[in-house]
């Protein structure tokens, strides 16, 4: 069998029973501001509604005899009940607006509210994707302007705007590579894609979705791609390489030009995972470094909100070599007029990118709502502000690295880029594992860092503070982590094993959830009976 | 710079703690030739200036609420209650990440569980995931899932399927060498797709109401698919319809994918939207996307976690069911809040109001000489055959501030059979005055 | 009856031309709490090293390879219904499948108990 034993421990035995004997029970089950809230399905509201709809006396029925007669099973709540339900739920969430959210590789920066206001202008929020072009000239101009910013910031000649998220952009880039190879008549020979062991899980998943076989490149001792090992793996069967830069260890691939040259010489393409673009935005341009395709996470680098897991947006910049294969649709500018190229056939007969488009990735033109927010962020920062933001992000990460290294163990020597990576050597023989350390951070009032990723570092803890944190906030954060590290070494294992104590829930049993999956509420399900 | 908290004094102090003489020391690994490129971009701006620039772009677009508006074809103008936007702008929802630390993300996890339950109920299926990017990508993922379940490599798509959905599915399935068949456009729902299913078909993809607005009976297709060992993938682009017509699940679909934009989400020029993906329990491990499930915490209290994540890319890597690592969380929240306000009672009356508006609009527009309706059965969208190319008519009416519908030729390009067809949607937002204005203007254009 | 092992942490108990196959206690421990097992159909045949079954914990998903070429003659549905059994008794009651050997010569390439122990010590 394959031994994929990396990743976070989720054993039941690590979830110690931790009910404090002296914890006072309340009659309601609530704890002051922490109010328990049942599911909407448990409120006996199946015959109610919180919306006043103009009642129509159905004069006609043209549903073809396919009316829905059976009950659907959807509860309805009045407006005050709905408000309370969701506001109570919101109190159980941590968020950037609450405190530092140092998830490495996720770039949880401040989400300016100006962006939200702009995205809600009726001229952007209330227009339909299939309106006549003459009625949406401002929207097309906005997409074109954002595309110009992205091209200028990356030094790339073309950008596909439609990908819906980072992984979708990654798919876009790899599809373009596949199309380019097919156009060269090498689809049957170039089947292998190289990716470092430290790559995001999406990289191998994307390559596989494109029908490529993934071959891992080892890292060298300082956490970067081993150039010689890479060269040894190159050959006429290699379609390309997928490298994150700065990489998932928070380090800049200093051999990036050599990597690009070697891959190009072997006839392959260079896909760069742009997840960590925040570190180098306006400081260095992937196009200058030899990249052929790179997705940009607007929700990371350009501050569009993560929203509890999406919606994201993943425009993908393409080199001269890959631009002809860009997906439809795209916006064309002709003087003051903007138009949409929506089909492969239409793309063939125009100048510019997409002449041999590999097809379509989504129904419409991409995440317009996110485009508005990202452009609002870019205009606000300008070239000077973006550069400052990247520098502050890198400075903040290095400050955290410098302050924590007295008690914690950095995975690599030297400076880092926008995120600081630690391993679990400092927890050796304490009985405390990375997950326990992370959960103890919750009790300190912080969202944990990314843990157990990248896989190449044992018990990894990856901290990305972003440029949004003040020095005072970082000092408090570092003081808390230093104190935790000392307490772990002092043998206060129990405190870690039973953390978190002060969160809305204690440690949750993921094993039980996976063994008997309950994925929706049912009237007779234990989910209902539990209340 | 209003978004950056560090002062110059802070920066100096921090650099000295770090032990770097200046900021570019930290960028020492970037090749010198490429560090700090000169950029042809403007400098930072005040809030007021940004509002002016973006405001002037927004003003160049004709918003749906600014007059008669009859567009559908995969995105629909519905009224969204004020509560929805208020809730999704709460910091704790807006600025949270994927709930990887469930102890401090119960808010997100509980609403995702509620979303999954609502989605399963609406589609008539047993399980629904925590959402996909949109309906079209969900459709492509359904074809890939059917391949995993049936181990077959042929996708069959109805001529009533939205061409963009078909194109996205084709792009993804052909990439891995599968065969994709897409029927000729089928405005009158006359195809006999059940007869086309054979022993090599992995799935048959059928939309209802279809891209022309026809409400389709999926039962005969479901039984034909079952007989041949293929899966029936039902596509719903107007989820409001499920408040009026039988759900695909009740009609025997194996996978239901839907665009959820109509509930809680604005038009947004095509995105962000929210895809629903639902199936039968027995296929759950082949399903793409995130799932939220019920469990208990160390004190025995009920809680929610992401579960069955071994299907996903961060664990399975090259063997994952999909490379997806995000859902459409905030749009799913908007959906759930709106759906919670509506309840079954509100959804049914809203759906009835939609059907009523469409019936009225169809009656009025077909009173114009030379205009006929194609559909026998429809919900809130129907297709007209005009005596001249629909694209021209739409352009002319747009200059009179009437957004008349989607010309079928915009979706089926260079297809003569599509040229005179106009796809018209009428939702609860359409008033009697809108219908009158449209009818009068159409009469004028066609006379 | 001889017990053999593979480098991929599977064990085989050979009885005539039938091999009972399972995963080793070391593998079960590395996986953590097993939450799901998928077994092949009886009657299906596998080449040596082909993916034959899947075993999942919360954090990991692993393929179980056919250690030798053969046809599946019996599967252990108990572990499908109660995946926790794989953690409780991986070397015994929680066997996965019984294979009818197609090529007895393949057994030569498998590890003895001694050799497997050495392998574990070297990890």
Between the CA of residue A378 and those of A91, A115, A293, A385, B272, what are the distances in Å? 31, 10, 21, 8, 20
Residues of B in contact with C56 (CB under 8 A): 310
Asked if residue C54 has pLDDT above 90, the reply is: no
Asked if residue B320 has pLDDT above 90, the reply is: no
Contact criterion met (CB < 8 Å) for A442 and B101: yes
Asked if residue A531 has pLDDT above 50, the reply is: no
Tens of pLDDT, residues A367-385: 999 999 999 999 999 999 9
Q: Does any CB of chain C come closer than 8 Å to the CB of residue B286?
A: no
Asked if residue A256 has pLDDT above 70, the reply is: yes
Mean pLDDT of chain A: 92
Asked if residue A39 has pLDDT above 60, the reply is: yes
What single-letter DSSP state applies at residue B64? G
> Residue A241 and residue A192: Cα distance in Å, rounded?
9
> Residue A103 and residue A118: Cα distance in Å, rounded?
27
| The pLDDT of residue B317 | 60
Cβ(B144)–Cβ(B322) below 8 Å: yes
Q: Does any CB of chain B come closer than 8 Å to the CB of residue A187?
A: no
Taking the CA of residue B233 and the nearest CA in chain A, the distance in Å comes to 17
Cβ(A276)–Cβ(A224) below 8 Å: no
Taking the CA of residue C94 and the nearest CA in chain A, the distance in Å comes to 15
Smallest Cβ–Cβ distance between A56 and the set B99, B177, B353 belongs to B353
Name the neighbours of A, counting chains with at least 3 Cβ pairs within 8 A.
B, C
Compute the Cα dihedral for A123, A138, B271, A242 and give only its sign: negative
Q: What are phi and psi of C36, to 5 degrees?
A: -155, 135
Cα three-residue angle A62-B121-B338, rounded to 5 degrees: 80
Taking the CA of residue C97 and the nearest CA in chain B, the distance in Å comes to 21
Tens of pLDDT, residues B384-414: 999 999 999 999 999 999 999 999 999 999 9
> Residue C9 and residue C116: Cα distance in Å, rounded?
8
The closest alpha carbon to B299, from A20, A33, A527, belongs to: A20
Asked if residue A71 has pLDDT above 70, the reply is: yes
Between the CA of residue A338 and those of A144, A149, B53, what are the distances in Å? 8, 17, 18
Element of type H or E holding C52: strand C51-57
Q: How confident is the model at residue B315 (pLDDT cuts 50, 70, 90)?
A: low
Tens of pLDDT, residues A436-494: 999 999 999 999 999 988 888 999 999 999 999 999 999 999 999 999 999 999 999 99
Share of chain A above pLDDT 70, in %: 94
Q: What are phi and psi of B170, to 5 degrees?
A: -60, -50
Give the CA dihedral A61, A65, A69, A74, nearest 10 degrees. Answer: -70
Taking the CA of residue A232 and the nearest CA in chain B, the distance in Å comes to 22
Q: How confident is the model at residue B312 (pLDDT cuts 50, 70, 90)?
A: low
> Residue B210 and residue C103: Cα distance in Å, rounded?
55
Q: Does any CB of chain C come closer than 8 Å to the CB of residue B315?
A: yes
Share of chain B above pLDDT 70, in %: 97
Q: How confident is the model at residue A25 (pLDDT cuts 50, 70, 90)?
A: confident
Q: What are phi and psi of B207, to 5 degrees?
A: -100, 140
| The pLDDT of residue A203 | 87
The closest alpha carbon to A99, from A445, A395, A463, belongs to: A445
| The pLDDT of residue B319 | 65
**Interface test mutation site (partner A, options B31, B116, B132, B133, max chain A beta carbons within 10 A):** B133
List the 184-203 stretch of B: residues with Cβ below 8 A of A: none
Q: Does any CB of chain C come closer than 8 Å to the CB of residue A10?
A: yes
Q: Does any CB of chain C come closer than 8 Å to the CB of residue B24?
A: no
| The pLDDT of residue A3 | 53
| A186 Cα distance to chain centroid | 33
Asked if residue A526 has pLDDT above 60, the reply is: no
Tens of pLDDT, residues A410-446: 999 999 999 999 999 999 999 999 999 999 999 999 9
- pLDDT (mean) for C27-56: 90
Q: Does any CB of chain C come closer than 8 Å to the CB of residue B295?
A: no
Q: What is the largest CA-CA distance in chain C?
A: 37
Contacts of residue C122, Cβ cutoff 8 Å, sequence gap at least 6: none
Taking the CA of residue A137 and the nearest CA in chain B, the distance in Å comes to 6
**Range of weakest confidence among A57-66, A153-162, B305-314:** B305-314
A271: β partners: A242, A293
| A10 or A133: which leads in pLDDT | A133
Residues of A in contact with C27 (CB under 8 A): 1, 3
Asked if residue A267 has pLDDT above 70, the reply is: yes
| B315 or A505: which leads in pLDDT | A505
Burial class (CB in 10 A: 0-12, 13-18, 19+), A187: middle
Smallest Cβ–Cβ distance between C27 and the set A1, A12, A515 belongs to A1
The closest alpha carbon to C14, from C90, C83, C68, C81, belongs to: C68
Residues of C in contact with A205 (CB under 8 A): none
Q: Does any CB of chain B come closer than 8 Å to the CB of residue A183?
A: no
> Residue A278 and residue B149: Cα distance in Å, rounded?
40
List the 320-349 stretch of A: residues with Cβ below 8 A of B: 327, 342-343, 345-346
Element of type H or E holding A167: helix A166-183
Which chain C residue lies closest to B312 (C-alpha atoms)?
Answer: C61
Q: Does any CB of chain B come closer than 8 Å to the CB of residue A508?
A: yes
| The pLDDT of residue A1 | 62
Q: Does any CB of chain C come closer than 8 Å to the CB of residue B388?
A: no
Q: How confident is the model at residue A12 (pLDDT cuts 50, 70, 90)?
A: very low
Between the CA of residue B96 and those of A301, A356, A480, B188, what are the distances in Å? 16, 40, 22, 46
Asked if residue A527 has pLDDT above 70, the reply is: no
Q: Does any CB of chain A come closer than 8 Å to the CB of residue B58?
A: yes
Taking the CA of residue A258 and the nearest CA in chain B, the distance in Å comes to 11
Q: Does any CB of chain A come closer than 8 Å to the CB of residue C62?
A: yes
Question: What is the DSSP track for A422-462?
Answer: EESGGGTTTS--HHHHHHHHHHTT----EES-STTSTT-EE
Residue environment code for B227-240, b if the CB has 16+ CB neighbours within 10 A, otherwise e: ebbbbbbbbbbbbb
Residue environment code for A302-331, b if the CB has 16+ CB neighbours within 10 A, otherwise e: bbbbbbbbbbbbbbbbbbebbbbbbbbbbb
Mean pLDDT of chain B: 96
Tens of pLDDT, residues C71-108: 999 999 999 989 999 999 999 999 999 999 998 889 88
Backbone dihedral region for residue A446 (phi beyond 0: left; psi -120 to 50: alpha; all else: beta): beta
Asked if residue A14 has pLDDT above 50, the reply is: no
| A16 or A269: which leads in pLDDT | A269
Mean pLDDT of chain C: 90
Which chain A residue lies closest to B237 (C-alpha atoms)?
Answer: A363
Q: How confident is the model at residue A352 (pLDDT cuts 50, 70, 90)?
A: confident
List the 368-407 stretch of A: residues with Cβ below 8 A of B: 368-370, 372, 375-376, 378-389, 391-392, 394-396, 398-399, 401-403
Asked if residue B304 has pLDDT above 70, the reply is: yes
ipTM: 0.97
Counted residue by residue, chain B has a size of 447
> Residue A470 and residue B4: Cα distance in Å, rounded?
8
**β-strand pairing of A337-341 with B127-128:** unpaired
Asked if residue B346 has pLDDT above 70, the reply is: yes
Tens of pLDDT, residues A88-127: 999 999 999 999 999 998 999 999 999 999 999 999 999 9
């Amino acid at each position: 069998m394959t031994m994929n034993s990396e990743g976070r421990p989720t054993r039941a035995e690590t979830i110690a029973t931790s009910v404090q004997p002296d914890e006072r029970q309340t009659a309601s089950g609530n704890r002051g501001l922490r109010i328990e809230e049942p599911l909407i399905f448990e409120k006996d509201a199946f015959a109610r509604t919180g919306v006043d709809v103009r009642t129509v006396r159905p004069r006609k029925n043209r549903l073809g005899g396919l009316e829905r007669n059976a009950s659907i099973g959807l509860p309805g709540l009045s407006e005050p009940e709905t408000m309370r339900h969701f506001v109570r739920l919101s109190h159980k969430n941590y968020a950037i607006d609450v405190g530092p959210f140092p998830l490495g590789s996720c770039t949880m920066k401040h989400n300016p509210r100006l962006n939200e206001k702009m995205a809600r202008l009726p001229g952007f929020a209330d227009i339909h994707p299939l309106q006549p072009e003459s009625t949406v000239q401002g929207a097309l101009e906005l997409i074109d302007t954002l595309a110009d910013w992205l091209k200028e910031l990356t030094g790339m000649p073309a950008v596909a705007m439609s990908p819906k998220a980072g992984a979708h952009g990654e798919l876009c880039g790899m599809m373009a590579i596949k199309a380019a190879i097919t156009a060269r008549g090498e689809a049957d020979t170039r089947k292998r894609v190289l990716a470092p062991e430290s790559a995001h899980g999406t990289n191998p998943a994307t390559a596989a979705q494109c029908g490529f076989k993934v071959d891992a490149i080892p890292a060298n001792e300082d956490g970067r791609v081993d150039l010689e090992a890479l060269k040894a793996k190159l050959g006429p069967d290699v379609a390309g390489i997928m490298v994150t830069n700065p990489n998932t260890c928070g380090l800049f691939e200093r051999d990036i030009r050599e990597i690009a040259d070697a891959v190009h010489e072997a006839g392959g393409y260079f896909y760069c995972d742009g997840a960590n673009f925040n570190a180098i935005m306006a400081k260095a341009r992937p196009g200058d470094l030899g990249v052929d395709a790179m997705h940009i996470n607007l929700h990371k680098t350009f501050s569009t909100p993560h929203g509890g897991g999406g919606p994201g947006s993943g425009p993908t910049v393409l080199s001269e070599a890959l631009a002809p294969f860009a997906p439809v649709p795209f916006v064309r500018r002709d003087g003051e007029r903007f138009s949409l190229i929506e089909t492969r056939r239409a793309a063939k007969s125009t100048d510019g990118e997409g002449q041999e488009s590999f097809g379509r990735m989504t129904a419409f033109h991409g995440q317009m709502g996110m485009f508005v927010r990202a452009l609002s962020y870019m205009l606000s920062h300008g070239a000077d502000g973006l550069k400052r933001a990247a520098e502050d992000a890198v400075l903040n990460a290095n400050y955290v690295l410098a302050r924590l290294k007295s008690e914690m163990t950095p995975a690599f020597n030297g400076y880092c880029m926008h995120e600081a990576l630690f391993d679990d050597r400092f927890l050796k023989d304490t009985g405390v594992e990375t997950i326990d350390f992370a959960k103890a951070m919750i009790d300190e009032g912080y969202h944990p860092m990314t843990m157990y990723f990248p896989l190449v570092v044992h018990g990894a803890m990856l901290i990305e503070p972003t440029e949004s944190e003040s020095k005072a906030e970082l000092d408090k954060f570092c003081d808390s982590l230093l104190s935790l590290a000392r307490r772990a070494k002092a043998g206060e294992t129990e405190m870690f094993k039973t953390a978190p104590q002060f969160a809305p829930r204690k440690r949750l049993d993921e094993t039980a959830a996976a063994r008997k999956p309950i994925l929706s509420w049912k009237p007779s399900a234990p989910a209902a009976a539990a209340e | 710079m209003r978004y950056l908290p560090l002062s110059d004094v802070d920066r100096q102090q921090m650099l000295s703690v770090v032990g770097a003489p200046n900021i570019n020391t930290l960028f020492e690994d970037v090749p010198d030739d490429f560090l700090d490129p000169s950029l042809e971009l403007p400098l930072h701006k005040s809030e007021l200036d940004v509002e002016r620039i973006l405001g002037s772009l927004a003003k160049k677009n004709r918003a749906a609420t600014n007059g008669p508006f009859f567009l559908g074809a995969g995105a629909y103008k519905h009224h969204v209650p004020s509560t929805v936007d208020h809730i999704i702008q709460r910091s704790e929802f807006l600025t949270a990440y994927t709930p990887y630390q469930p102890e401090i993300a119960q808010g997100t996890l509980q609403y995702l569980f509620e979303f999954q339950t609502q989605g399963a109920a609406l589609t008539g299926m047993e399980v629904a995931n925590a959402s996909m990017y949109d309906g079209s990508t969900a459709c492509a993922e359904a074809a890939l899932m059917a391949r995993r379940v049936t181990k077959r490599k042929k996708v069959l798509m109805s001529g009533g399927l939205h061409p963009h959905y078909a194109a996205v599915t084709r792009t993804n399935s052909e990439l891995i060498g599968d065969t994709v068949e897409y029927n000729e456009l089928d405005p009158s729902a006359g195809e006999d797709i059940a007869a086309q299913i054979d022993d090599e078909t992995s799935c048959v993809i059928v939309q209802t109401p279809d891209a022309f607005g026809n409400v389709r009976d999926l039962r005969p297709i479901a039984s034909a698919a079952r007989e041949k060992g293929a899966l029936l993938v039902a596509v719903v682009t107007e989820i409001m319809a499920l408040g009026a017509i039988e759900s695909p699940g009740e009609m025997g679909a194996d996978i239901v994918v839907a665009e959820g934009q109509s509930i809680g989400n604005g038009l947004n020029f095509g995105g962000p939207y929210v895809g629903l993906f639902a199936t039968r329990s027995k296929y759950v491990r082949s399903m793409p996307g995130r799932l939220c499930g019920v469990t208990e915490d160390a004190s025995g209290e009920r809680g929610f976690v992401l579960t069955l994540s071994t299907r996903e890319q961060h664990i399975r890597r090259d063997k994952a069911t999909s490379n997806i690592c995000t859902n459409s969380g905030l749009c799913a929240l908007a959906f759930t809040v709106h759906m919670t306000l509506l309840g079954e009672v509100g959804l049914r009356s809203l759906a009835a109001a939609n059907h009523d508006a469409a019936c009225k609009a169809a009656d009025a527009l077909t009173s114009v000489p030379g205009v006929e309706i194609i559909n026998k059965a429809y919900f809130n969208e129907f297709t007209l055959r005009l005596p001249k190319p629909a694209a021209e008519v739409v352009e002319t009416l747009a200059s009179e501030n009437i957004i008349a519908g989607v010309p079928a030729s915009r979706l089926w390009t260079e297809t003569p059979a599509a040229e005179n067809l106009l796809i018209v949607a009428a939702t609860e937002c359409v008033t009697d005055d809108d219908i009158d204005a449209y009818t009068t203007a159409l009469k004028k254009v066609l006379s | 009856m001889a017990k053999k092992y593979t480098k991929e942490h599977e064990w085989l108990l050979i009885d005539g031309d039938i091999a009972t196959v399972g995963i080793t206690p070391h593998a079960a421990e590395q996986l953590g709490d097993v939450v799901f097992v998928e077994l092949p159909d009886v009657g299906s045949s596998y080449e040596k090293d082909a993916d034959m079954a899947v075993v999942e914990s919360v954090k990991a998903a692993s393929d179980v390879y056919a250690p030798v070429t053969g046809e599946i003659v019996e599967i252990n549905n108990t572990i499908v219904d109660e995946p926790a059994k794989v953690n409780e008794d991986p070397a015994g009651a929680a066997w996965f499948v019984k294979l009818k050997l197609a090529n007895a010569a393949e057994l030569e390439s498998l590890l003895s108990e001694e050799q497997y122990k050495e392998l574990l010590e070297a990890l």
